[in-house]
């Protein structure tokens, strides 16, 4: 499925050029030319990711973020802030605290920008919400998983890992991604813990085909009949 992105920038040429770079990378991209227009577009339908200019005449990025949260704890899609000038580190943290996922300084290398967009989209794909894949039902938020009618007894991390893999059914999820998204650490060292989690998932499923090991890279979820 093509990810739907929304680029928000009050400078039309900048907005269109950013959008074109993203379109050429295979994304479906809409453009909004103000904070107000961005909020209207989101009301009509949430994008998978928003790239948001920090300084706009009608609203600054933190105000847009506050409106997007609209009383909720988190924004339901990742927002990457585009800064024209580097703000003080404090401003950057304010953006993150208000719900932004990342920052990109305008003029950053195109490949770097695309890598950050891919990273944020991957992170979103591991978000909460029940997942149903064939006979398997996983709801990490509620702390439960079942295969058909049988409850699976999984600890928190194996459960999160199963949900993440199921969310990416058919795709390889790398060990690095699992470490970051399930263990909350970007460094290795929890690899043994990850292997134990896979062992526990397989033991509980009692059917080995659901989780494939992709040697040296990671794991892949495969739906079983």
Partner 1 sequence: MGSGTGSSSRTELAAALHRLRSTLARVRAELELAEADGDSPPVGRLRADLSEALELLGAVEAAAFGIVPVLVLDDDERLAELTARGLRRLGYEAESAGRIRALRPHEVVVFDLGLSASLDSAQRATLKAARPIVVTGAADPRSRAIAADLGAVDYLIKPVELTDLAAAINRRMADQSG
What end-to-end distance do the CA atoms of the chain give, in Å? 23
Of the candidates 148, 174, 147, the one whose C-alpha atom is nearest the C-alpha of residue 161 is 174
Alpha helices in 129-190 (DSSP H): 156-167, 175-182
Nearer to partner 1, 8 or 120 (CB): 120
Residue 203 CB contacts under 8 Å (≥ 6 apart), including other chains = none
Write down the least CB distance from residue 220 to partner 1, Å: 17
Query: What is the 3-state composition of the chain as percent helix, strand, coil, each rounded to the nearest 5?
Result: 40, 20, 35
The dihedral built from the CA positions of residue 95, 122, 202 and 146, taken in this order, carries a sign that is: positive
Write down the least CB distance from residue 186 to partner 1, Å: 4
Phi, psi of 30 (to 5 degrees): -110, 160
Nearer to partner 1, 123 or 139 (CB): 123
Question: Three-class SS string for 44-69?
Answer: HCCCCEEEEECECCCCEHHHHHHHHH
Phi, psi of 208 (to 5 degrees): -70, -20
What does the binding site for partner 1 look like in residue numbers (CB under 8 A)? 85-90, 92-93, 96, 102-103, 105, 107, 112, 115-116, 119, 174, 176-177, 179-180, 185-190
Nearer to partner 1, 67 or 108 (CB): 108
Nearer to partner 1, 26 or 189 (CB): 189
7 near 19, Cβ under 8 Å? yes
Nearer to partner 1, 175 or 202 (CB): 175
Nearer to partner 1, 72 or 90 (CB): 90
């Amino acid at each position: 499925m093509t990810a739907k992105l929304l680029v928000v920038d009050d400078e039309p040429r900048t907005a269109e050029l950013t959008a074109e770079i993203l379109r050429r990378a295979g994304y479906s991209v809409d453009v909004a030319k103000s904070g107000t227009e961005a909020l209207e577009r989101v009301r009509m339908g949430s994008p998978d990711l928003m790239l948001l200019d920090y300084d706009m005449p009608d609203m600054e990025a933190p105000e847009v973020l506050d409106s997007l949260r609209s009383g909720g704890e988190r924004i339901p899609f990742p927002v990457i802030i585009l800064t024209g000038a580097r703000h003080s580190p404090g401003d950057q943290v304010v953006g993150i605290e208000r719900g932004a996922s990342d920052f990109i300084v305008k003029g950053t290398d195109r490949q770097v920008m695309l890598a950050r967009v891919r990273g944020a989209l991957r992170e979103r794909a591991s978000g909460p919400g029940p997942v149903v894949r064939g006979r398997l039902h996983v709801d990490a938020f509620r702390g439960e998983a079942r295969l058909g009618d049988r409850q699976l007894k999984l600890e928190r991390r194996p459960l999160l890992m199963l949900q993440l893999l199921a969310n990416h059914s058919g795709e390889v999820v790398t060990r690095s991604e699992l470490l970051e998204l399930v263990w909350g650490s970007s460094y290795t060292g929890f690899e043994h813990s990850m292997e134990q989690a896979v062992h526990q998932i397989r033991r509980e499923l009692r059917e080995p085909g659901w989780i494939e090991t992709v040697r040296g890279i990671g794991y892949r979820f495969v739906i079983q009949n």
